[in-house]
């Protein structure tokens, strides 16, 4: 079978540099069940299959790529999951947990990380190649201009490491931006210590109006007069750490 043609609507950019492929796979430190998202023609897959201590599964929505993988990696056939990763019930398929890895399609990279977050009790580690801008955002500390919603929500439950940058020329077709490989490792936080639904609302509302102080950006959530002197309200969202957001969420809930 000829090589798979990259499909723009699926955000496909096939990695062609073997050294980078090997380096990405080596960045995965855990053992056990592994799910590669969007394997394409298997440039990462072949190195995953060589690794001891892991069982490689792949999730691929592109039927042409599925056919290619079945032909070139017949030993993988029983563990090729044809379908949309974002719609998969991971708890049903991987009740004992899984590690996630992939050269993630850029057009859904943020959604992939929200899926990882939703399944954080199942996923202790995730290694992904994404657009550099998103990688920087996820790994940025508070106080940075790049720090945002995804940074706070992921850093609440994962240690986020920016591993290395990948140039445009190692892909076919080359993307218009540089890429980054980042690693998420589950931290020790079991519970946030606040109303989780409200926490998500406070974070999102704060960053949706990131130029405003939190006093103004959080008004739609409603809080009582006893919040008036809370010093965090005079700050902008990017200035707050995860723990600050937890404290602020508890203060907002107590004031209602």
- Summarised one tens digit per residue, pLDDT across range 194-236 is 999 999 999 999 999 889 999 999 999 988 788 888 999 999 9
Cα–Cα dist 41/135, whole Å? 24
Give residue-wise pLDDT tens across range 98-120.
999 999 988 899 999 999 999 99
Is 31 in the same domain as 91?
A: yes
CATH number at residue 244: 1.10.8.100
The values of phi and psi at residue 208, to 5°, are -65, -20
Is 165 in the same domain as 215?
A: no
Per the CB < 8 A criterion, the answer to whether 55 and 79 are in contact is yes
pLDDT above 90: percentage of residues in the chain = 81
Give residue-wise pLDDT tens across range 53-87.
999 999 999 898 899 999 999 999 999 999 999 99
Q: How many distinct structural domains can be found in the chain?
A: 2
Mean pLDDT of the chain: 93
Of 164, 186, 208, the residue that ends a domain is: 186
Q: pLDDT tier at 40 (50, 70, 90 boundaries)?
A: confident
Query: How far, in Å, are 35, 112, 159, 190, 223 from residue 162 at the CA level?
Result: 21, 17, 10, 23, 37
The pLDDT, as a whole number, for residue 8 is 64
Give residue-wise pLDDT tens across range 140-155.
999 999 999 999 999 9
The pLDDT, as a whole number, for residue 209 is 85
Would residue 191 count as lying in a domain?
no
Would residue 30 count as lying in a domain?
yes
For residue 89, pLDDT over 90 is answered with yes
Provide the CA 83 distance to its chain's centre, in angstroms: 19
DSSP state of 245: H
Of 136, 164, 186, the residue that ends a domain is: 186
Q: 15 versus 182: which is more confidently predicted? A: 182
Average pLDDT, integer, range 11-35? 90
Is 0.85 topped by the overall pTM? Answer: yes
Give residue-wise pLDDT tens across range 166-203.
999 888 777 789 999 999 999 999 999 999 999 999 99
Per the CB < 8 A criterion, the answer to whether 82 and 60 are in contact is yes
For residue 256, pLDDT over 90 is answered with no
* Structure-block tokens of residue 59: 């999730």
Would residue 2 count as lying in a domain?
no
Is 122 in the same domain as 215?
A: no
Long-range contacts of 10-13 (CB under 8 A, 24+ apart): 10/61, 10/62, 10/105, 10/107, 11/105, 11/106, 11/107, 11/108, 12/38, 12/40, 12/62, 12/105, 13/103, 13/106, 13/171, 13/172, 13/173, 13/174, 13/175
The pLDDT, as a whole number, for residue 4 is 67
Would residue 126 count as lying in a domain?
yes
Would residue 42 count as lying in a domain?
yes
Query: How far, in Å, are 23, 53, 96 from residue 69 at the CA level?
Result: 21, 22, 26
């Amino acid at each position: 079978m000829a090589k798979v043609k990259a499909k723009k609507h699926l955000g496909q950019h096939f990695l062609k540099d073997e050294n980078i492929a090997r380096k990405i796979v080596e960045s995965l430190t855990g053992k056990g069940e592994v799910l590669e998202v969007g394997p394409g023609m298997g440039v990462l897959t072949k190195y995953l299959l060589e690794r001891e201590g892991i069982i490689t599964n792949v999730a691929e929505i592109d039927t042409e790529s599925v056919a290619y993988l079945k032909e070139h990696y017949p030993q993988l056939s029983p563990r090729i999951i044809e379908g949309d990763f974002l719609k998969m019930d991971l708890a049903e398929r991987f009740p004992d947990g899984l590690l996630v890895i992939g050269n993630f399609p850029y057009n859904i990279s943020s959604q992939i990380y929200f899926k990882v977050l939703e399944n954080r009790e199942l996923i202790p580690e995730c290694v992904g190649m994404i657009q550099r801008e998103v990688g920087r955002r996820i790994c940025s500390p508070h106080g940075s201009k790049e720090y945002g919603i995804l940074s706070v929500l992921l850093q609440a439950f994962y240690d986020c490491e920016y591993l290395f940058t990948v140039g445009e020329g190692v892909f076919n077709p080359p993307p218009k931006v540089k890429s980054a490989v980042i690693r998420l490792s589950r931290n020790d936080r079991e519970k946030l210590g606040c109303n989780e639904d409200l926490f998500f609302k406070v974070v999102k509302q704060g960053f949706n109006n990131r130029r405003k102080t939190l006093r103004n950006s959080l008004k739609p959530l409603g809080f009582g007069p006893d919040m008036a002197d809370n010093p965090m309200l005079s700050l902008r969202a990017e200035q707050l750490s995860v723990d600050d957001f937890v404290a602020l969420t508890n203060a907002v809930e107590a004031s209602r």
